[in-house]
Chains A and B, each alone.
Chain A
Amino acid sequence: DIQMTQSPSSLSAYVGDRVTITCRASQTIDTFLNWYQHKPGNAPRVLIYRTSRLQEGVPSRFTASGSGTEFALTITSLKSEDSASYFCQQSDSTSLTFGQGTKVEVK
């Protein structure tokens, strides 16, 4: 299976800050790298698919990029409602795997 390693595991930042979460794959993957937001008690929500494509309805402050084994999600101007856990996920192999998650706290 392709292992996905996210960093950091948690972060705390202020409203308006720019934050970046990284995701490293254990082997080179194609563009099938997705990012999800998950708030406790809610359904997870896809933010970004195919490395950098913004899901409909997701604010443009969420951007993402990457290639090979290194990928990143950036929130360009943090808002209070962005407090959540964020997960990367690869669909390059049939065995679908997620990163362990990054918990974002907005001060």
Chain B
Amino acid sequence: EMQLVESGGGLVQPGESLRLSCEASGFTFSSYWMTWVRQAPGKGLEWVAKIKQDGSEKDYVESVKGRFTISRDNAKDSLYLHMNSLRVEDTAVYYCATFHSYDRCFDIWGRGTLVTVSP
């Protein structure tokens, strides 16, 4: 079974940092672009970041540029999101997802991990 499992969420104060992890199983992780997508409470889905199969290309939504860093370790079938200078508006459930490079859709998703940023 193809699976993604996120971890690392929690409650932090504004300005603090957090690292999310996503572990893949059941498919060839190194063959996929990987992404993070978030959903704030009561809001829709928002793409956050993506990284190429070999890590050579990365891209971010404007609101997290300079604060968040996406990375991956193909030897560990793992994806990461390093989040610095967290803001209240970063509060969301964070999902990792594969991004099919040919069909350009998010085709395998995890169940998410909740990040709460509150004073």
Among B10-18, B67-75, B76-84, B108-116, the one that faces the other chain is B108-116
Tally B residues with Cβ within 8 Å of A. 24
Query: Bound state CA distance, A98 and B89, in angstroms?
Result: 18
**Interface-centre pick from B4, B62, B104, B110 (highest chain A CB count, 10 A):** B104
Count of A residues near B, CB < 8 Å?
26
* Interface: B95 (CB within 8 A): yes
The A interface, classified by DSSP as helix, strand, loop or mixed, is: loop
- Docked complex Cα distance between A101 and B46 (Å): 11
Contact check, A99 vs B44: say whether CB atoms are below 8 A apart.
yes
6 interchain pairs (CB within 8 A)? A87-B45, A91-B105, A95-B59, A96-B47, A99-B44, A100-B44
Does B88 touch A at the CB level, under 8 Å? no
**B60 nearest CB neighbor, chain A only:** A95
Q: In the bound complex, do residue A49 and residue B95 qualify as a contact, i.e. CB atoms below 8 Å apart?
A: no
Q: How many A-B residue pairs have CB under 8 A?
A: 62
Chain B contacts for A38, CB-based, 8 A: 45
The 8 Å CB contact of A45, one of B45, B100, B109, is B109
Interface majority SS (helix, strand, loop, mixed), chain B: strand
State whether A87 and B44 are in contact (beta carbons under 8 Å apart), knowing that A43-B109, A44-B95 are contacts in the complex: yes
Q: Which residues of B contact A100 (CB under 8 A)?
A: 43-44
Q: Min CB distance, B114 to chain A, in Å? A: 11
User: Which A residues lie within 8 Å of B103 (CB)?
Assistant: 49-50, 53
| Residue of B with least CB distance to A47 | B105
Q: A42-B111, A44-B95, A49-B105 are in contact. Are A95 and B45 (CB under 8 A)?
A: no
> Is B105 in contact with A43, judged by CB distance below 8 angstroms?
no
Compute how far the CA of A18 lies from the CA of B101 in the bound complex, rounded to whole angstroms.
33
Q: Do residues B106 and A44 form an inter-chain contact, with CB atoms below 8 A? A: yes
